[in-house]
Structure 1
Amino acid sequence: MVHEPNNWGRFGPDDQRGTLNLLTPALVLEALRSAVTGEVLSLAMPIRGATSSAAPTTVPHLRGRPLPQHFMSVDGGDYAAGARPVGDGLRVADDALLVTHHGTTTHMDALCHMWTGDELYNGHPAARVRSYGATRCGIEHVGGVVARGVLFDVPRHLGLDHLPADFRIPAGLLREIATPRPGDVAVIRTGWPLAWERSREEYWAGQPGLSAEAGAWLAGLDVSAVASDNAAIGGLNAHQLADEPAADDLHLILLHRHGIHLIEMLWLEELGAAGRTEFVFVAAPLRIEGGTGSPVTPLAVL
């Protein structure tokens, strides 16, 4: 059992959804009141091509990770020989396979994605996580997320296009922008994907992100999820690793201790330009049984 502040046992001994339990029907209805204009923005990065093509190099990703791969059976070039005939001269191009990986596309981390010791979130045994899937805290327990989103546009607040690579966002800076309510999804814009458009090497030189105290502050306010346009919620160094000791690791603070799902590698430029701090946040992962995560297309309804 962890001894730091945590949500273990709060939602029952068998809980596998964490703070998503806060999203009651009444809270979802209240969140829907955050929509004013009805405009819908996608907050997802694109998935392009396959590793063998040049297309994936145009999408932000962590160096060395398996790239998103999208195979189609249409031209025989990358998966199957020819499109499938369906009669009367018609032919169909089938999506045959989609492979994604943490750190390479917009995705949600499941509560089984990271842990310490022998226990997942809520004391579930880590031994139940195997190569064939996790039998506890898998991504299939998420369902759909409909909540009030709160945008923390940190670089805009500071008058910057994007944060520097070594910037770690303190709790006080978040507090200057907004204070989320229980059940809200905290959406953190660092602007770092803009560095990719300028220089791949600059993007891989590190990443800005939340500090440990900022993550603990959000957890203490009972957010239902934390989302960001960087690759790890927290910051990364030039080796694309976190510098914090294990006790301050954002994945352990949020996923493991508090049961707060993480959504990473969003595209937040249009949302930031819209100037809206509050909106309706919608996301649903693929129902991958035992999955440690899933690609998602989060939506902001303004």
Structure 2
Amino acid sequence: MTEVPHLTDLLADAPTNWGRWGTDDQVGALNFLTAPRVLEAVRAVRSGKVFTLGTPVGTGNDPVWPGRAQAQRYNTQDKSEYLVGKRTATAGGVEYADDFIAMYLQGTTHYDGLGHVWFDDTLYNSYPAETTTGGLTHNSVLPIAERGVVGRAVLLDMARHFGKDVLDKGQPFGLDDLLACAAAQQVEITKGSILLIRTGMIGSFFTRDSAEYYADYLEPGLEYSPELGRWFHEMEIASLATDTMANECTVHSSGAAFVLHAALMRNLGVAFAEILSLDELASDCAEDGQYDFLYAAAPLKVAEATGAPVNPLAIK
């Protein structure tokens, strides 16, 4: 059996952005989304069409990472309490309903904080892993939420590029595939871009049997290579968002797990958004040929959290 390489060895020559924006930085590659680049992104708005990219929450069958519980929503107050006399209307006659939800903060469309993953006991920008104990005092999702993610985004529809409605389980693709897809779509990936990748997986979740969907779970996705890591670094890619739960094939061809998270999030500070709903946007892009747009997202401002729900906007 081939020995699985440790990430220390696998990423020994991989680039990092540690210290690039100072020792206190906790938003990483989002620093590339400067005011001039945001203004440039506004020029991608040509028709005024708006797409929301979040998935529904609390349906009882939400797409969540295997092992994470479904969101639980409860009414804490509704019409029934007025009907049985436990509550009375306010002065003037107003009645109201209220509710409560318990969920994994990464149990729906979400952004990860840069401290979500690490190796060698070190988070992005050299913060020690011990700072995650009991809550992330560094590299939580809060700095990302406070900054927001706004810029020019490019959708790469890998499923359509490969002639499929949804990519196969465990199907990897790499940098050459990304660039070939962009060329086929006649869209330019410029420096500081936000990259959205569609595999068809999350869309297929709602039409497939749950047991079949989760069986032998291994998503299709982008696979790390040294060339890919250098390209993300040189192109100053600010954020990666996909319609999968992990933004990568969980297991790399080397046998190591979550290599892309380590190379891009932990080393470069690329902001990861996962579980996006991209099918409607992709269909519109295929129809009008416009694969770039203004992207805007701000996760919930949850203190010390590893991630938080978000409902991103794509504005064409």
Q: Same fold (TM over 0.5)?
A: yes
Q: Please tell me whether residue 208 in structure 1 is matched to residue 210 in structure 2.
A: no
Alignment partner, residue 51 of structure 1: none
- Aligned-residue identity in percent: 35
CA RMSD, Structure 1 to Structure 2 (Å): 2.4
The structure-2 alpha-carbon separation of the partners of 1:182 and 1:160, relative to structure 1 and needing over 3 Å to count, comes to same
CA contact (8 A) 2:242 2:276 kept: yes
CA contact (8 A) 2:117 2:266 kept: yes
- Return the alpha-carbon distance in structure 2 between the equivalents of residues 160 and 198 of structure 1: 16
How far apart are residue 76 of structure 1 and its match?
9.3
CA contact (8 A) 2:203 2:278 kept: no
CA contact (8 A) 2:55 2:275 kept: yes
The gaps in structure 1 that reach 5 residues or longer are: 49-54
In the alignment of these two chains, the number of paired residues is: 286
Alignment partner, residue 62 of structure 1: 65
The structure whose Rg is larger is: 2
Alignment partner, residue 278 of structure 1: 292
Following TM superposition, the consecutive aligned residue runs of length 4 or more in structure 1 with deviations greater than 4 angstroms are: 81-85, 241-248
The gaps in structure 2 that reach 5 residues or longer are: 1-7, 183-187
Alignment partner, residue 176 of structure 1: 180
The structure-2 alpha-carbon separation of the partners of 1:121 and 1:114, relative to structure 1 and needing over 3 Å to count, comes to same
Q: Which AA in structure 2 matches 1:87? A: A
CA contact (8 A) 2:223 2:252 kept: no
Alignment partner, residue 265 of structure 1: 275
Q: TM-score, normalised by structure 2?
A: 0.83
CA contact (8 A) 1:83 1:93 kept: no
The structure-2 alpha-carbon separation of the partners of 1:195 and 1:9, relative to structure 1 and needing over 3 Å to count, comes to same
The structure-2 alpha-carbon separation of the partners of 1:130 and 1:72, relative to structure 1 and needing over 3 Å to count, comes to farther
**Partner of 1:198: helix, strand, or coil?**
coil
- Return the alpha-carbon distance in structure 2 between the equivalents of residues 199 and 291 of structure 1: 32
Query: Paired residue for 1:227, among 241, 247, 256?
Result: 241
- Return the alpha-carbon distance in structure 1 between the equivalents of residues 119 and 242 of structure 2: 23
- Bigger share in strand: 1
**Partner of 2:263: helix, strand, or coil?**
helix
Alignment partner, residue 140 of structure 2: 138
Greater RCO (Cα-Cα under 8 Å, separation 6 or more) = 2
Alignment partner, residue 164 of structure 1: 168
Query: Paired residue for 2:113, among 99, 110, 114?
Result: 110
**Partner of 1:181: helix, strand, or coil?**
coil
CA contact (8 A) 1:65 1:101 kept: no
Alignment partner, residue 5 of structure 1: 15
- Return the alpha-carbon distance in structure 2 between the equivalents of residues 274 and 83 of structure 1: 48
**Partner of 2:90: helix, strand, or coil?**
strand
The structure-2 alpha-carbon separation of the partners of 1:15 and 1:75, relative to structure 1 and needing over 3 Å to count, comes to same
Alignment partner, residue 185 of structure 2: none
Query: Paired residue for 1:191, among 196, 200, 203?
Result: 200
- Return the alpha-carbon distance in structure 2 between the equivalents of residues 247 and 100 of structure 1: 22
Matches for 1:76-155 after TM superposition, within 5 Å: 85-102=89-106, 104-131=107-134, 133-142=135-144, 143-155=147-159
